[in-house]
Amino acid sequence: MKRFIELRLLLESERGAAARRDYRAEDLVMLGMWGTASGCASVVVLALYINSEDVVRLYRHPAFLWPVCLAVLFWLCRVWVLANRDDLPYDPIVFAVKDWRSYVIGACVAAAFFLAL
């Protein structure tokens, strides 16, 4: 996502190519698609983990972990939409620290893990 935002900012400043990276203007769409696909794949990996036997041994109520997949997917989709709209600052981590919705989602995820114990 950071490279996506970086390339978008460079295109807006009309420099056209990243100074120290091998990105070009036509890479912007692909970076967005790869980032979104990677986020969705990470949620699938999380779901596979929740469905594994290890989770049954670690948590008494693993069913409470399923909403975590939805929360993470919602957050990732929201952040990618904001990045595509150019409403996300340069660093996604700084955004997450300043965004109250990220805190709400984080609290829901923490509550799900607590309930699963």
Length of the chain: 117
pLDDT number for residue 17 = 53
Structure confidence at residue 8 (pLDDT): 86
Each domain of the chain, given as residue ranges in start order, spans: 2-116
Quick one: pLDDT at residue 47? 97
pTM value? Answer: 0.85
Residue 63 CB coordination number (10 Å):
11
Which tens digit of pLDDT belongs to each residue from 38-68? 999 999 999 999 999 999 999 999 999 999 9
Residue 49 CA to residue 53 CA, distance in Å, equals 8
Torsion of CA 45, 50, 51, 52, to 10 degrees: 90
Q: Mean pLDDT, to the nearest integer, of 33-40?
A: 95
Can you read off the two tokens belonging to residue 44?
């699938």
Q: Which residue has the higher pLDDT, 17 or 27?
A: 27
